[in-house]
Each structure stands twice: as C-alpha cells, then as structure tokens.
Amino acid sequence: MERSQLFLLHFAGGNCYSFQFIASMLSDFDVVTLELPGRGRRMEEELLKDFDQAAADIFQQLMDRLVTRKFMIYGHSMGAYLALRVSNMAARCGKAPLYLFVSGNPGPGIRDDKKRYLLESSAFVEELVKLGGMPRELVENREMFEFFEPILRADFEIAERNELAHEPAVSIPLFAIMGSEEENVEKIDNWGRFTNARFDYRILGGDHFFIHKHPHTIAGIIKQSYRYMLG
C-alpha cells in the first residue's frame, strides 16, 4: 500500500535536520524534510530573503519530490507561513494537500512590528534567547554565532515581510498549534480565516519551541487528522 507523504517546512535558522526529534514517530508516512538554500544540504547556495522567492523554492522542491496525491504539509513558525502559500500554489496545480498543519505563530495579519532582522547584534541575540530556540552559550560563542547570524536574519526577513494578510483561504482542513507562552497565543483562531474547510487548534505547554517538548502529541495530531481524512 502506497504511503502518504508528509512534507516538513523548517523554522527560521532551521534546515532539513530540524525535525529529527519527531521523524521516528511519523513512520506511518514518507517524511520529506525540505529546506531553503544557504544551510544544511544546500550550504553552498545563496540565502534568500524574499518571501515569494522562498515559497517558490519550497514549492518546486515539493513538486519535484511528490509521488502521490495523498500528501500533507506541516510548517513551524516561518515554515507555517510558507506552508500556507505552498498549499495554495499546489492547489492551483490541481494537487492540493490532504491536510495543512501549522505551528509557532497565530497566522498572517496579526501585527508584529519587531522586525528582528533589522536589530543590532545584541538586541537580536536577546530576541533569539527570548524565543527559546537557541541556548545562550551558542549565541555567546562569537565564531558559532557569526556563522548562524546571516541565516537567521535572512529567515526572519522572509517571515516578517510576508504579504499573507490577504492570502486566499485554502479549501483543505487546517490544524494550528501554539505554545502556551508564545506571544499572541490567544489569537490562534486567526488561522481559521485561512481555510474554507475544517479548522482545529491546540495549545501545548511551552515557549516558541514547545514542539521539542511535545513530539508524541504533535505526531498524534497528524496521525489522527490523517485518519479523519480517510474516513
């Protein structure tokens, strides 16, 4: 029996290895981890800073690796924004995903004027530490941080300059997840504006990187949602 594909879209600063913490729990699916240029397996390629270009890059990767009509997309944080656009792009080609999973933000149009990608270095570091995904020891290691900083700034620019507030709603089910300590978590139902189909959401304990604390729960949500689609 052909397995469904699950495409995973990483957060800012992430790469194709960013979902290793959960991949083993998703063995029901053919898990495909996509990544933007300038990191991971695409280290030699030039970083992107434009949302539309990033979405086009991810979409092309997905189309190149798509082998079944039964597939789903999951993106965290920056990846959630990209997942919405790529789902719409795929649907326009007659290849809509079965389900869209998004986590780590309350969806397009919720105002955030921080523009982290423009912050001077020390303020940028504080924002990273506050988000919870980067240990202070790492950002205080000058050599290590100088390597990661351009990648992080490029990704934050992609995420923070997206023009998705008026993105058309997808006609596929959408499930949103956020951490209880994240900014604007009380607005998670905003994601409901971006689907014309079933909408669900769940809030799990933790900061922006709550995903690392709840891999079994997130994997369970994906599996249960898939079973729902199969009837």
Contacts of 119 by beta carbon, 8 Å cutoff, 6+ apart? 127
Q: Which amino acid is at 213?
A: K
| Domain 5-230 CATH class label | alpha beta
Q: pLDDT, tens digit, for every residue of 94-149?
A: 999 999 999 999 999 997 767 888 787 778 877 887 777 666 677 677 787 888 88
Measured CA to CA, the distance from residue 223 to residue 3 in angstroms comes to: 13
Cβ partners under 8 Å of residue 183, min gap 6: 112
In this structure, what are the phi and psi dihedrals at residue 167, rounded to the nearest 5 degrees?
Answer: -60, 135
Residues 101 and 177: their CA atoms lie apart, in Å, by 8
Quote the pLDDT of residue 138. Answer: 72
Give the phi and the psi of residue 66 in degrees, each rounded to 5.
-75, 125
Q: Measure the CA–CA gap between 178 and 34, rounded to whole angstroms.
A: 21
Across the range 193-210, mean pLDDT stands at 96
Cα–Cα distance measured from residue 90 to residue 97, given in angstroms and rounded to the nearest whole number: 7
Look at residue 136 in the predicted model and tell me its pLDDT: 67
Which residues in the chain belong to E strands, given as ranges? 5-9, 30-34, 71-76, 99-103, 174-179, 199-204
Q: What is the pLDDT of residue 133?
A: 64
Backbone angles phi, psi at 207, to 5 degrees: -90, -160
User: Hey, how many other C-beta atoms are within 10 angstroms of the C-beta on 116?
Assistant: 20
Residue 27 has pLDDT above 60, yes or no: yes
pLDDT digits (tens, 9 = 90+) for 154-201: 999 999 988 899 999 999 999 999 999 999 999 999 999 999 999 999
pLDDT of residue 135: 65
- The pLDDT, as a whole number, for residue 117 is 85
Strand arrangement of the beta sheet that strand 174-179 belongs to: 30-34, 5-9, 71-76, 99-103, 174-179, 199-204
pLDDT digits (tens, 9 = 90+) for 50-98: 999 999 999 999 999 999 999 999 999 999 999 999 999 999 999 999 9
Cα–Cα distance measured from residue 94 to residue 104, given in angstroms and rounded to the nearest whole number: 28
